Copies of this chain bind each other. A is one copy, B any other.
Amino acid sequence: MTASRKSPTIQDVARHANVSAATVSRVLSAPERVSETTRERVHAAVSETGYTINQAARSLRLKAARTILMAAPNIGNPYYSTVLDAVIGEASSRGYSVLVATRIGDDPNRWLHDYLLSTRADGLLLFDGSLDTNSLHGLGAEGVALPLVAAYDEIPDPKVNSVITDNRLAAKRAVRHLADLGHTKIAHVIGPSRNQSTNERLLGFQEAMRELGLPVRQEWLHPGAYNTESGTAAAAQFLASGELPTAVFCGNDEMAVGLIHGMRQAGIECPRDISVVGFDDVSFAPYYNPPLTTMRQPREEIGRMATRSLIDIIEGGAKESDPVHVVLTSELIVRESTRTIR
């Protein structure tokens, strides 16, 4: 209720404890370098005054914010939000805060400047596959080493640290699963084309089909957008294609669900009439009706590993020489949305 008083500074604490500001600072960051008695006095003064360190001043002095930035295309998507959860867990356990940004806009360079080269964030966790790593790496070349971990897909630039999953291999395994069940008429719902993981999955699909000697029909390739709506649109497209595929490999679970929904509207039941494989194994996948067969992405693992690498890079200094490349494997989870062909 009192009028808004200035928050206490390290000087105030120093006065309270009859020591210098430097000593207070030492108590807070290197307690062993100060005597037992003064340490106690300072601690008491800290709680008396309700002192909290001023992060802005600290960041200015240290040229580090102890904050990382996670950039994702759409945090409302369950995939990214699960990853974010893991990122926050790992980061905060190491004393880092997490800044989140979406919809990066058309000028990633300007944007990155704003965030990273401004003592706002010490490093970038890049989950946006639609971004060009060249323009990012260009930043690093300006003289400032940019701690960056890309965690969305096969990175073309080996200089960029990355945590990825084997999208292509995973896609092949999904298609093989369908083929093992006797399916030969297999369609694919593709993700957004700007996204690199999309392309890897498409490549895996095509590769598997070729290896199996199965034809890829253009009408059975639907360009989607990783959301339920495009799954439903895919269903409409396949329905209109004259002949119906007996199985569909979808680029993610949301599209799979949209597809199944759309098919059901037309009287085509999954898995009775059509088998569907999703991708990601989002939280509701096992609870869907039918429970979804899908490629599980180790989302928490991705978030954890990427964060760990990034902070290691930040703290270890920029060891430009040896970029980290982690490849995690996806797992086929067979549930009830796929079955042997009649």
A117 is an interface residue with CB less than 8 A from chain B: yes
Q: Which residues of B contact A57 (CB under 8 A)?
A: 56, 60, 119
- Specify which chain B residues have a CB less than 8 angstroms from the CB of A113 in the assembled complex: 50, 52
Q: A145-B4, A254-B284, A288-B289 are in contact. Are A54 and B89 (CB under 8 A)?
A: no
Counting chain B CB atoms within 10 Å of each CB, the highest count among A50, A120, A232, A264 belongs to A120
Known: A102-B88, A287-B228, A289-B289. A143 touches B5 (CB 8 A): yes
Enumerate chain B residues within 8 angstroms of A55, measured Cβ to Cβ: 118-120
Q: How far is the CA of A177 from the CA of B283 in the complex (A)?
A: 28
Closest to A318 in B: B4
User: Which residues does chain B contribute within 8 Å of A287, judged by CB atoms?
Assistant: 228, 231-232, 257-258, 260-261
Q: Is residue A40 within 8 Å, beta carbon to beta carbon, of the partner chain?
A: no
Partner of A102, one of B56, B78, B85, B114: B85
CA distance A99 to B52 in the complex (A): 18
CB 8 Å contact bits of A224-235 with B (1 = contact, 0 = none): 000110011000
A7 contacts across to B, CB distance below 8 A: 117, 143-144
Contact check, B65 vs A75: say whether CB atoms are below 8 A apart.
no
For window 94-148 of A, CB contacts with B under 8 Å fall at: 97-103, 113-115, 117-120, 141-145
A193 within 8 A of B: no
Query: Counting CB contacts under 8 A, is A76 at the interface?
Result: yes
Does A97 lie within 8 Å of B99, measured CB to CB?
yes
Verify if A81 is at the interface (C-beta below 8 Å from B): yes
Q: Which B residues are in CB contact (< 8 Å) with A254?
A: 283-284
A195 within 8 A of B: no
Q: A298 → chain B, closest Cβ, in Å?
A: 14
Q: Which of A76, A101, A119, A145 has the most CB of B within 10 A?
A: A76
In the complex, A53 has a CB within 8 A of chain B: yes
* A105: nearest chain-B partner, CB-CB: B92
Beyond A118-B54, A144-B4, is A81–B75 a contact (Cβ under 8 Å)? Answer: yes
A72 to B27, CA, bound (A): 32
Q: Which residues of chain B have C-beta atoms less than 8 A from A82's C-beta?
A: 76
Ordered by A's residue number, 30 sampled pairs between the chains whose C-beta atoms are within 8 Å are A1-B141, A3-B143, A50-B142, A52-B113, A52-B114, A52-B118, A55-B119, A56-B57, A57-B60, A59-B59, A60-B60, A67-B99, A75-B84, A76-B82, A76-B85, A78-B78, A78-B81, A81-B81, A88-B103, A89-B103, A97-B99, A99-B99, A100-B100, A227-B283, A228-B286, A254-B284, A260-B287, A260-B289, A261-B287, A289-B290
8 tightest A-B contacts by CB? A81-B81, A56-B59, A289-B289, A56-B119, A76-B85, A5-B143, A56-B60, A55-B118
